[in-house]
A = this chain, B = another copy of it.
Amino acid sequence: MYSVDKYPSKILQEAVEAIGSLPGVGSRSALRLALHLLGQPADSIHHFTEAINRLADDVQYCRTCQMVSDADTCPICADRTRDARTICVVESVRDVMSIEATGQYRGVYHVLGGIISPIDGIGPSDIHIRELVERIGRMHEEDAAVEDLPGGDSVSRGDIEIILALSGDVEGETTALYIYRQIEDKGVKVTTLARGLGFGDDLEYADTLTLGRSLTARQPFRP
């Protein structure tokens, strides 16, 4: 006797389970998406899966900043008009995209690829902190090499600035502090994002922590 194992087809069931394993996709949505795909021509399905397979097979990471890239140097690091001595340290590619969308930043990035989170078993060695320290070391070596050239000591290449642009939660603050300890003696300027009320925010609806810190970190009024 046929018992209702929910799915009339094991193939369908496995597709639903695969889709349902994505974060934020519930079993009803997964079924809806699987049935949508099932209704598509085979070519469309193959096109869909090939685009995703390329994430596994063809994506590279920029050897300088660790960002997702189609080559071993990403377009931002390859862009000579950007300030390569200002490095914004972020958790993920998504943060790079958010910052790029502001149009306010002309420096480069360093993508950690995660955040220190003991509860998830992610320690300092699981994210690209070592690569950041090495990157700073290489920049100093290049500076020294320039200074050794005849007349090179008169060339000022400017400070190196590391912007710790991590989230404001415990993991973000832990990671920022850990990185700071690794680089504080490397002769770099370390900054972090300004925090406070959002532009246009109403005091009435601000959370007390943000409002309190906004008060503590109050700034000169510029009329």
Interface size grouping (class) on chain A: 35 or more
A148-190 CB contact bits vs B (8 Å, 1 = yes)? 0000000000000000000000000000000000000000000
A59-76: which have CB < 8 Å to B?
59, 67-70, 74-76
Cβ of A222 within 8 Å of any chain B Cβ, yes or no, is no
Cβ of A37 within 8 Å of any chain B Cβ, yes or no, is yes
Cβ of A2 within 8 Å of any chain B Cβ, yes or no, is yes
Knowing A53-B49, A55-B12, say if A6 contacts B68 (CB, 8 Å). Answer: no
Identify which of B36, B50, B96, B103 contacts A8 (C-beta below 8 A). B96
> Is the beta-carbon distance between B8 and A68 smaller than 8 angstroms?
yes
A30-66 CB contact bits vs B (8 Å, 1 = yes)? 0111111111101001111111111111110000000
- List chain B residues, Cβ under 8 A from A211: none
- List chain B residues, Cβ under 8 A from A141: none
The number of times this chain is found in the oligomer is 2
Cβ of A214 within 8 Å of any chain B Cβ, yes or no, is no
Cβ of A101 within 8 Å of any chain B Cβ, yes or no, is yes
Within the complex, the shortest CB–CB distance from A10 to chain B, in Å, comes to 5
Within the complex, the shortest CB–CB distance from A101 to chain B, in Å, comes to 7
> Is the beta-carbon distance between B52 and A8 smaller than 8 angstroms?
no
> Which of A16-24, A128-136, A196-204 is the contact stretch?
A16-24
Knowing A36-B23, A47-B18, A79-B1, say if A58 contacts B11 (CB, 8 Å). Answer: yes
Cβ of A142 within 8 Å of any chain B Cβ, yes or no, is no
Cβ of A82 within 8 Å of any chain B Cβ, yes or no, is yes
Within the complex, the shortest CB–CB distance from A188 to chain B, in Å, comes to 24
- List chain B residues, Cβ under 8 A from A83: none
> Is the beta-carbon distance between B8 and A76 smaller than 8 angstroms?
yes
| A38 (CB) vs chain B CBs: closest residue | B55
Within the complex, the shortest CB–CB distance from A205 to chain B, in Å, comes to 23
